C-alpha cells in the first residue's frame, strides 16, 4: 500500500513531504561522495586548475586573488570545499564569476575534467550550451601553440627582463597570415603615466594582473615596431587534446585576476601555469621559487624533452634597417638618409644615375625607416607617414621586387644564453693585503657577462652581495651589495640617436680619512652617449655625465653629493673574450667636499655557456683592488 502511495505522489506532482529527495539533489550528493572517495581534490589537475601552492606550515593556498573565482567561501584554502561547491554549482544555470555565466561555462575546464573523471550522466546533470565559449574557440581556430619571447627593453621598466606570451596558431596559417592569429597574454593593469608608483606597487603586488587575448599583430606592433625589440617564436609540440585543455583553462583565467608581482607572479610565471595544465606531466614552475625571469622560463620550456620545435626569429624594425644599411656603400647610406628627410631627393641626378636595383634598395631602406618613425611616439609621426607615402609611390614605379635579404639577429635566442643567477669565487689583492671572496647575484646580466642570448650593450644587476675575508686584517665583511645597477649603452649613428643612461643603488667598501674598510652607500645615475666601431672586432665607446651621492662614516659629515664624467670602452676581442675599461672624475661640493679619480679595467673569458673567468682591477683615490674569479651561472 505504501509503494502505491509513493507512486501516486511521484506522478501527481504532490510534494513528497520529505519522503524522497529531488533527483538533482540526490545526484549532487552522489557525485560529491564519488569525488571524495576518488580523492580528486588531491590530484594534480585539480590543484593546477585552482592554482593551489603548498604553504610553509602545511596546507595550500590558491594564487588566485579574485573572490569570484571560488565557488566556496573557503575555496582559496580548501581544495575539497571548492570541489564540492563546484559540483553543486554545475546543477545551476545561475551566473557566477566576473564573466556572469553558469558555472559549467564560466569554469569550463573544471567541468570537462570532472565530467571525464566522474562520467556525468547527462540525464541527471543536464549539459548547458556555452555559446560564448564556442564562438571564442571557433574564432581562435586553433591548430597549434607558440611561445613568444620579445627581448628585454631597458627603457620600459615592465619589460626590462623581457616578456613571454602564447600565440594560438590557426588552421591553414601561413607566414603572411600568422599576424592575424590571437594571443594569450598576462599583464598588470597599470594606469597610464603612473610614474614612481609603479616600482613599489609592481614589486609588492599592488596591481591586478589579467589574462587577455589580443591579436598577434598588435603585440608585434607594440614590441617589434614601437619598442624595437627582436622577437623569438617557439612552436610547442602539444596534442589536440592538450591545446583544448590550455584554451579551456585560459577561458577560465579570463574570469578572474591575480595580484601581480613583478619578480615572481609575473607574465612568464602564469604562462607556465597554462602549459602545466595543458600537460600536467610538466613541472615548469618548480624551478622558480623566489623569482621568475622570462628568459629562464624560456630555457625551462626548451629543456623539456620534445616540447619545443625550431625557434623562428622576427627582427625588430631597427634591426632590419641596421642590417640592410651594412649592405650599402657610404654614398648609398647618405642618399637613403636624404630621401627619408626629403623624398624630392629622388629626382636628383646622383640618385637617378644609380642602377635600378640600387635605387630600389635605397627606397626600401628609406621606407623602412619612415615606417619605423611613423609608428613611434615621435610628435612628427604624421610627417613621417606622409614622406613614406611619397617614397612608396616612387618605389612602385620601379617594376622590380625587393631584394630578399636574410636578417640575422645581433645576438642568439635567449635559451642559448647563460642562466640569470650567478655565484662567484675569487681572490686577490687590495692595498698590501690579500683576500678571498664569494659573491651571489640573483639576476640578471652585466656588461662583461657572456653576451649570447642577451640584449647587446645592456646591463641589469639586482640583489647581489659579496662577502670578502681579508687575511692580514683578519676581517670578514660584506664587501659590496647591489640593490639595482642598470646600464644601457645605445650606440648612436646617422639614424638612431637614443641616449645612453645608467642608474645604481648599492653599497661598497671604501678607504678614506683613516677608515680602512668602511661601508659606503651609493646612489648614482647618469646620461650620455655611445658610438660603435670595428677597429678590431667590435667596440662601443661611451661617455656619461653623472651625479652621485654617498653616505658613510668615512666622511667627516657622513655624506657627500657631487657629479662628474666617465669615459669608457667595451670591446669584443673574440667571441669568447671581452674587455672593458673606464675612467671617471667626480667632484663633491656638498657634504664632505672632495674629488676623486677612478679607473677600471676588466676582462672576461667564456669557458662554457654557464661558466666564465674574470679579472677585474679597480682604482679610486689611492685604493687599488685586483680580483681574479671564476663564475658559475644557474
Closest CA to 334 of 366, 367, 371, 378: 366
- Note the pLDDT of residue 631: 98
Span 574-601, mean pLDDT? 96
Q: Is residue 290 domain-shared with residue 372, that is, in the same domain?
A: no
56 pLDDT band, cuts 50/70/90, is: confident
**Cβ atoms of residues 157 and 198 within 8 Å:** yes
Residues composing the chain: 634
Q: Which of 87, 114, 129 is a domain's end point? A: 129
Give the Cα separation of 87 and 32 in Å (integer): 7
Q: Is residue 11 part of a domain?
A: no
Q: Is residue 402 part of a domain?
A: no
Please, which residues have CB within 8 angstroms of residue 215's CB and are 6 or more apart in sequence?
179, 180, 181, 182, 183
Give the Cα separation of 202 and 263 in Å (integer): 9
The pLDDT of residue 8 is above 80? no
Q: Is residue 463 part of a domain?
A: yes
Q: Is residue 161 part of a domain?
A: yes
Closest CA to 386 of 397, 378, 374, 375: 374
Span 160-171, mean pLDDT? 94
Q: Which of 129, 150, 183 is a domain's end point? A: 129
Q: Is residue 524 part of a domain?
A: yes
Q: Is residue 505 domain-shared with residue 600, that is, in the same domain?
A: yes
The pLDDT of residue 96 is above 90? yes
Which residues sit opposite 632 in a β-bridge? 423, 611
31 pLDDT band, cuts 50/70/90, is: very high
Q: Is residue 110 domain-shared with residue 144, that is, in the same domain?
A: no
Under DSSP, the state recorded for 68 is G
The pLDDT of residue 14 is above 60? no
456-475 CB burial, b ≥16 within 10 A, e <16: bbbbbbbbbbbebbbeeeee
Q: Is residue 178 domain-shared with residue 42, that is, in the same domain?
A: no
Q: Is residue 572 part of a domain?
A: yes
> Could you give the 3-state DSSP secondary structure of residue 519?
strand
4 pLDDT band, cuts 50/70/90, is: very low
Write out the DSSP string of 339-377: HHH-GGGGGSHHHHTS-HHHHHHHHHHHHHHHHHHHTSS
Average pLDDT score over the chain: 92
Give the Cα separation of 455 and 490 in Å (integer): 11
The pLDDT of residue 567 is above 90? yes
> Could you give the 3-state DSSP secondary structure of residue 565?
strand
Give the Cα separation of 296 and 420 in Å (integer): 7
The pLDDT of residue 494 is above 90? no
Give the Cα separation of 10 and 421 in Å (integer): 70
Span 563-586, mean pLDDT? 97
Using only C-alpha atoms, what is the Rg of the chain?
31
Give the Cα separation of 237 and 241 in Å (integer): 12
3-state percent helix, strand, coil for the chain, nearest multiple of 5? 30, 35, 35
Torsion angles phi and psi, residue 130, rounded to 5: -110, 75
**Cβ atoms of residues 437 and 427 within 8 Å:** yes
Give the Cα separation of 297 and 482 in Å (integer): 24
Span 530-534, mean pLDDT? 95
Q: Is residue 165 domain-shared with residue 227, that is, in the same domain?
A: yes
Which residues sit opposite 443 in a β-bridge? 462
Under DSSP, the state recorded for 572 is E
Give the Cα separation of 558 and 409 in Å (integer): 49
- Note the pLDDT of residue 255: 80
Give the Cα separation of 48 and 43 in Å (integer): 9
12 pLDDT band, cuts 50/70/90, is: very low
- Note the pLDDT of residue 18: 36
> Could you give the 3-state DSSP secondary structure of residue 143?
strand
Under DSSP, the state recorded for 498 is P
Torsion angles phi and psi, residue 261, rounded to 5: -120, 120
What's the pLDDT tens digit per position in 134-144?
999 999 999 99
Q: Is residue 625 part of a domain?
A: yes
Cα 349 to its chain centre, rounded Å, is 49
- Note the pLDDT of residue 572: 95
Closest CA to 170 of 140, 146, 148, 133: 140
Q: Determine the Cα angle at 584 with ends 420 and 579, to 5°.
A: 45
Beta strands 515-533 and 312-314: pairing type? unpaired
- Note the pLDDT of residue 21: 42
Q: What dihedral do alpha carbons 383, 385, 390, 391 form, nearest 10°?
A: 110
**Cβ atoms of residues 591 and 567 within 8 Å:** no
pTM above 0.75, yes or no: yes
Q: How many CB atoms lie within 10 A of CB 423?
A: 13
Span 72-87, mean pLDDT? 98
Q: Is residue 303 domain-shared with residue 159, that is, in the same domain?
A: yes
The pLDDT of residue 156 is above 90? no
**pLDDT over 70, % of the chain:** 96
Q: Is residue 343 domain-shared with residue 370, that is, in the same domain?
A: yes
Q: Is residue 290 domain-shared with residue 213, that is, in the same domain?
A: yes
- Note the pLDDT of residue 9: 31
Span 162-177, mean pLDDT? 92
Span 198-225, mean pLDDT? 92
Q: Is residue 21 part of a domain?
A: no
Span 521-536, mean pLDDT? 95
The pLDDT of residue 7 is above 80? no
Q: Is residue 164 domain-shared with residue 230, that is, in the same domain?
A: yes
Q: Is residue 346 domain-shared with residue 263, that is, in the same domain?
A: no
Q: Is pLDDT larger for residue 614 or for residue 352?
A: 614
What's the pLDDT tens digit per position in 218-255?
999 889 888 889 999 999 999 999 999 999 999 999 88
Please, which residues have CB within 8 angstroms of residue 389's CB and are 6 or more apart in sequence?
none
Q: Is residue 351 domain-shared with residue 254, that is, in the same domain?
A: no
Q: Is residue 225 domain-shared with residue 79, that is, in the same domain?
A: no
- Note the pLDDT of residue 100: 93
Residue 490, phi-psi category: left (phi > 0), alpha (psi -120 to 50), beta (remainder): beta
- Note the pLDDT of residue 6: 37
Number of domains in the chain: 4
169 pLDDT band, cuts 50/70/90, is: very high
Q: What is the CATH number of the domain that holds 445?
A: 2.40.160.40
Write out the DSSP string of 107-141: THHHHHHHHHHHT--TTTSPPPP-HHHHHHHHHH-
425 pLDDT band, cuts 50/70/90, is: very high
**pLDDT over 90, % of the chain:** 83
- Note the pLDDT of residue 89: 97
- Note the pLDDT of residue 176: 82
Q: Which of 85, 100, 129 is a domain's end point? A: 129
Q: At what angle do helices 79-89 and 23-37 cross, to 10 degrees?
A: 150
Q: Is pLDDT larger for residue 83 or for residue 172?
A: 83
Q: Is pLDDT larger for residue 15 or for residue 601?
A: 601
Burial-class residue 536 by CB neighbours within 10 Å (0-12, 13-18, 19+). exposed
Domain span holding position 150: 136-314
The pLDDT of residue 433 is above 80? yes
Q: How many CB atoms lie within 10 A of CB 411?
A: 15
Amino acid at each position: 500500500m505504501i509503494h502505491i502511495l509513493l507512486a501516486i505522489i511521484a506522478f501527481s506532482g504532490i510534494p513528497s513531504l520529505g519522503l524522497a529527495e529531488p533527483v538533482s539533489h540526490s545526484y549532487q550528493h552522489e557525485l560529491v561522495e564519488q569525488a571524495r572517495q576518488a580523492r580528486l581534490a588531491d590530484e594534480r589537475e585539480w590543484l593546477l586548475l585552482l592554482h593551489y601552492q603548498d604553504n610553509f606550515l602545511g596546507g595550500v593556498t590558491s594564487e588566485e586573488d579574485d573572490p569570484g573565482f571560488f565557488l566556496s567561501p573557503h575555496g582559496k584554502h580548501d581544495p575539497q570545499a571548492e570541489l564540492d561547491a563546484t559540483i553543486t554549482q554545475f546543477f545551476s544555470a545561475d551566473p557566477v564569476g566576473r564573466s556572469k555565466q553558469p558555472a559549467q561555462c564560466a569554469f569550463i575546464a573544471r567541468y570537462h575534467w570532472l565530467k571525464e573523471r566522474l562520467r556525468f550522466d547527462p540525464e541527471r546533470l543536464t549539459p548547458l550550451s556555452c555559446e560564448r565559449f564556442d564562438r571564442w574557440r571557433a574564432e581562435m581556430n586553433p591548430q597549434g601553440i607558440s611561445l613568444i619571447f620579445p627581448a628585454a627593453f631597458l627603457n620600459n621598466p615592465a619589460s626590462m627582463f623581457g616578456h613571454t606570451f602564447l600565440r594560438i596558431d590557426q588552421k591553414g596559417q601561413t607566414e603572411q597570415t600568422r599576424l592575424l592569429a590571437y594571443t594569450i597574454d598576462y599583464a598588470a593593469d597599470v594606469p597610464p603615466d603612473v610614474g614612481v608608483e609603479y616600482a613599489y606597487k609592481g614589486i609588492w603586488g599592488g596591481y591586478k594582473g589579467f589574462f587577455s587575448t589580443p591579436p598577434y599583430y598588435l603585440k608585434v606592433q607594440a614590441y617589434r615596431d614601437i619598442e624595437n625589440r627582436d622577437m623569438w617564436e617557439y612552436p610547442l609540440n602539444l596534442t589536440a587534446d592538450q591545446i583544448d585543455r590550455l584554451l579551456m583553462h585560459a577561458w577560465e583565467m579570463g574570469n578572474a585576476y591575480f595580484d601581480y608581482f613583478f619578480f615572481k607572479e609575473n607574465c612568464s610565471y602564469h604562462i607556465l601555469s597554462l602549459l602545466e595544465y595543458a600537460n600536467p606531466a610538466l613541472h615548469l614552475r618548480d624551478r622558480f621559487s623566489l623569482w621568475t625571469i622570462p628568459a629562464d622560463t624560456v630555457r625551462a620550456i626548451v629543456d623539456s624533452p620534445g616540447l619545443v620545435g625550431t625557434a623562428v626569429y622576427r627582427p625588430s624594425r631597427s634591426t632590419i634597417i641596421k642590417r640592410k644599411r651594412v649592405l650599402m656603400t657610404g654614398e648609398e647610406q647618405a642618399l637613403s638618409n636624404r630621401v627619408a628627410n626629403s623624398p624630392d631627393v629622388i629626382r636628383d641626378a646622383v640618385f637617378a644615375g644609380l642602377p635600378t636595383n640600387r635605387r630600389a634598395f635605397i627606397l626600401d631602406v628609406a621606407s623602412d625607416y619612415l615606417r619605423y618613425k611613423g609608428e613611434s611616439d615621435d610628435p612628427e609621426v604624421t610627417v613621417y607617414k606622409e614622406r613614406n607615402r611619397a617614397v612608396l609611390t616612387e618605389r612602385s614605379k620601379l617594376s622590380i621586387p625587393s631584394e630578399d635579404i636574410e636578417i640575422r639577429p645581433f645576438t642568439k635566442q635567449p635559451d642559448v644564453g647563460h642562466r640569470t643567477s650567478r655565484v662567484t669565487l675569487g681572490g686577490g689583492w687590495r692595498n698590501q693585503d690579500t683576500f678571498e671572496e664569494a659573491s651571489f647575484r640573483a639576476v640578471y646580466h652585466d656588461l662583461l657577462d657572456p653576451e649570447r642570448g642577451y640584449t647587446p650593450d645592456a646591463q641589469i644587476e639586482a640583489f647581489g652581495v659579496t662577502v670578502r675575508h681579508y687575511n692580514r686584517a683578519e676581517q670578514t665583511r660584506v664587501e659590496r651589495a647591489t640593490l639595482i645597477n642598470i646600464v644601457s649603452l645605445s650606440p648612436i649613428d646617422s639614424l638612431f640617436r637614443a641616449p645612453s643612461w645608467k642608474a645604481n643603488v648599492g653599497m661598497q667598501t671604501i678607504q678614506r680619512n683613516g677608515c680602512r674598510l668602511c661601508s659606503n652607500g651609493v646612489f648614482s645615475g647618469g646620461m650620455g652617449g655611445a658610438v660603435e666601431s670595428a677597429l678590431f672586432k667590435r667596440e662601443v665607446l661611451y661617455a656619461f655625465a653623472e651625479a652621485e651621492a654617498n653616505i658613510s662614516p668615512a666622511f667627516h659629515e657622513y655624506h657627500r653629493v657631487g657629479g662628474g664624467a666617465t669615459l669608457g670602452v667595451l670591446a669584443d676581442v673574440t667571441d669568447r673574450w671581452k674587455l672593458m675599461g673606464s675612467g671617471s672624475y667626480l667632484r663633491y661640493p656638498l657634504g664632505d667636499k672632495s674629488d676623486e679619480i677612478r679607473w677600471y679595467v676588466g676582462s672576461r673569458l667564456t669557458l662554457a655557456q654557464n661558466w666564465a673567468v674574470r679579472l677585474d682591477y679597480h682604482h679610486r683615490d689611492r685604493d687599488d683592488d685586483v680580483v681574479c674569479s671564476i663564475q658559475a651561472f644557474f
